[in-house]
């Protein structure tokens, strides 16, 4: 950790699952606990770090988030909050799922929290049939099974069809 | 730096790999569920069998139990799944809240009876437009109580007070026949503005406090006169300004005072206007003076 602070101007290369390479300032990469642990151990900054689970589109978004938070770490929290809400605004569900997976893999807690919250907000107060549509989840219940599960959770259906 | 990233993004954005909710690992789905209200999580069980399994996670429900109920004291060491514990306490709360509400309604109904008896003795129509009392009680933030008290209304120039539905089993002693008391309405009243009312102490000399006021006895002649018009579906009376002031003072102690503009509107000013001409005709059934007009307000 100490060495990384001394070498703020160093850059490292991240490689997405689809082969795109991203040159990233070290202090930006350090927003990710995964990368921080790698840099603290034996990985040299000269190496290309592969991120096989993250496609280039998602990695670009993740690094955009990291840069803002790395550069603004000493500025006002309110500014970062408005950036966060704007960052996820109008993002489609597929991109949100990719983002939450990437944040989970790269261990970027702040991004993971806001992305998970955004997904939760999308389905909050929605009937379960609508949740199925939003998530593209197939109903694997028979009508009888679904009725039984609904009966188990009847208390939660007040005000719902 | 960000410019480079954006250019990358724009270059590749055309071919996003579709990722569905089912691609998410269990721990991420649980994290998302932990951000949802408890009834949303319970309903997620109906989406599909995998979500049903996850939406029953013991740690998740423990988290939600502690978040909602604070501690486990009320469980008395029961050996239940956390979701069962949660559901039990949730249902207990649902059963408990109406009881409290009913008790508060009962207390407030007693206040109403007392006020009605006082009104009957003094033959006072309160100058509240229909809905004003109800609004005030309904907005009460103290107990979230909606007391279904139907305020006085004007039908064919008569002021009519109807019993609330929840008092139907009570005796109906406040049917008072009007015997010809004049109302001396000031010039200001004709314009629909409220007469100057000083918020003076109540008849008992102390402000009324909900739940602690004495129930005033009803005089026998009042009851007898009430019986005489028992066939009439409405209660009819009139008053003078002094008694209006007293009732205003009473009600302003119970509820937050309204402005004069809010208190006197439409039907009430009409009543005052007609009463200033002389006497409110009342107690002659529904075919009294003004029978040619249609009632302004019907129940």
- The tens digit of pLDDT for each residue in B169-195 reads 545 444 444 444 444 444 443 444 444
CA angle B165, B168, B174 (to 5 degrees): 105
Question: Residue A138: its chain B contacts at CB < 8 A?
Answer: 48
Q: Is B156:B297 a contact under the CB 8 Å cutoff? A: no
Which residue in chain B has the smallest CA separation from A138?
B48
CA of B132 vs chain A CAs: smallest distance (Å): 29
What's residue B188's pLDDT?
40
Please give the model's pTM, rounded to 2 decimal places. Answer: 0.52
Of B6, B24, B94, the CB nearest to A97: B24
Does the beta carbon of B25 lie under 8 angstroms from any beta carbon of chain A?
Answer: yes
Beta bridge partners of A14: A22, A49
Of residues B24, B90, B20, the one with CA closest to residue B54 = B24
**Which of A106-115, A152-161, B4-13, B218-227 has the highest mean predicted lDDT (pLDDT)?**
A106-115
Identify the pLDDT of residue B75: 67
- Please report the pLDDT score of residue B22 as a whole number: 83
Percent of chain B with pLDDT strictly greater than 70:
26
CB contact (8 A) between residue A137 and residue B20: yes
Q: What are the residue ranges of helices labelled H in chain B?
A: 2-12, 26-34, 38-44, 49-54, 58-69, 82-122, 132-138, 187-190, 220-228, 241-254, 260-263, 266-276
Query: Chain B interface, mutation test: which of A61, A131, A134, A154, most B Cβ atoms within 10 Å?
Result: A131
Nearest to B12 among A28, A57, A67 (CB): A57
Per-residue pLDDT, B269:
40
* Of B107, B115, B139, nearest in space to B251 by CA: B115
Question: For residues B47 and A146, what is the distance between their CA atoms, to the nearest angstrom?
Answer: 8
Q: Are B227 and B172 in contact (CB under 8 A)?
A: no
Give the per-residue pLDDT at B149. 57
- How confident is the model over B162-172, as a mean pLDDT? 51
Q: What sign does the dihedral A68-A70-A71-A72 (CA atoms) show?
A: positive
Distance (Å, whole) CA B28 – CA A112: 9
CB A30 within 8 A of CB A70: yes
The chain A residue lying nearest B31, using CA atoms, is A116
Dihedral (Cα; B201, B204, B209, B215), 10-degree rounding: -150
* pLDDT, tens digit, 9 for 90 and up, residues B85-107: 888 888 887 766 656 666 666 66
Phi/psi class of residue B295: alpha, beta or left (left: φ > 0; alpha: ψ in -120 to 50)?
Answer: beta
Spatial separation of the C-alpha atoms in residues B237 and B159, rounded to whole Å? 6
Length of chain B: 299
Q: Where are the beta strands (DSSP E) in B148-297?
A: 153-155, 158-161, 235-236
Mutate to test the interface with B, among A149, A154, A158 (most CBs of B within 10 A): A149
Rounded distance between C-alpha atoms, residue B122 and residue B208, angstroms = 17
* Confidence check on the interface: ipTM exceeds 0.85, yes or no: yes
């Amino acid at each position: 950790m100490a060495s990384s602070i001394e070498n703020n101007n160093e850059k490292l290369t991240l490689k997405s699952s689809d082969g795109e390479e991203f040159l990233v300032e070290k202090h930006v990469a350090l927003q990710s606990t995964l990368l921080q642990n790698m840099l603290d151990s034996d990985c040299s900054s000269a190496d290309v770090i592969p991120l096989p689970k993250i496609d280039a589109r998602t990695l670009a978004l993740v690094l955009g988030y990291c840069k803002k938070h790395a550069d603004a770490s000493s500025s006002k929290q309110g500014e970062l909050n408005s950036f966060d809400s704007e960052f996820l605004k109008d993002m489609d569900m597929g991109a949100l799922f990719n983002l939450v997976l990437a944040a989970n893999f790269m261990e970027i807690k702040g991004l993971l929290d806001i992305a998970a919250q955004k997904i939760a907000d999308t389905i909050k107060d929605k009937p379960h049939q609508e949740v199925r549509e939003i998530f593209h989840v197939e109903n694997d219940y028979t009508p009888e099974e679904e009725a039984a599960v609904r009966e188990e959770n009847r208390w939660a259906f007040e005000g719902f069809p | 730096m960000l410019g480079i990233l954006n250019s990358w993004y724009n270059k590749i954005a055309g071919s996003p790999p579709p990722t569905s909710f089912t691609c998410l690992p269990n721990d991420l789905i649980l994290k998302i569920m932990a951000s949802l209200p408890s009834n949303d999580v319970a309903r997620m069980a109906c989406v599909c069998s995998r979500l049903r399994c996850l939406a029953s996670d013991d740690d998740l429900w423990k988290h939600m139990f502690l978040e909602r109920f604070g501690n486990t004291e009320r469980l008395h060491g029961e050996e239940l799944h956390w979701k069962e514990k949660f559901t039990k306490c949730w249902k207990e709360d649902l059963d408990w809240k109406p009881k409290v509400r009913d008790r508060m309604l009962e207390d407030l109904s007693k206040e109403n009876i007392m006020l009605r008896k006082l009104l009957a003795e003094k033959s006072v129509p309160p100058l509240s437009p229909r809905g004003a009392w109800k609004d005030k009680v309904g907005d009460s933030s103290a107990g979230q109580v909606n007391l279904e008290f139907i305020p006085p209304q004007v039908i064919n120039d008569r002021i009519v007070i109807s019993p609330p539905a929840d008092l139907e089993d009570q005796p109906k002693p406040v049917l008072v026949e009007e015997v010809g008391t004049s109302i001396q309405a000031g010039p200001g009243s004709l314009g629909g503005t409220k007469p100057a009312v000083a918020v003076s102490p109540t008849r008992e000399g102390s402000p009324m406090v909900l739940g602690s006021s004495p129930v005033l006895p009803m005089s026998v002649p009042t009851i007898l006169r009430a019986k005489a018009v028992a066939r009439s579906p409405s209660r009819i009376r009139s008053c003078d300004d002094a008694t209006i002031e007293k009732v205003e003072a009473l009600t302003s102690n119970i509820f937050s005072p309204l402005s004069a503009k809010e208190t006197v509107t439409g039907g009430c000013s009409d009543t005052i206007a007609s009463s200033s001409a002389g006497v409110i005709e009342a107690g002659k059934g529904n075919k009294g003076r003004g029978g040619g007009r249609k009632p302004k307000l019907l129940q």
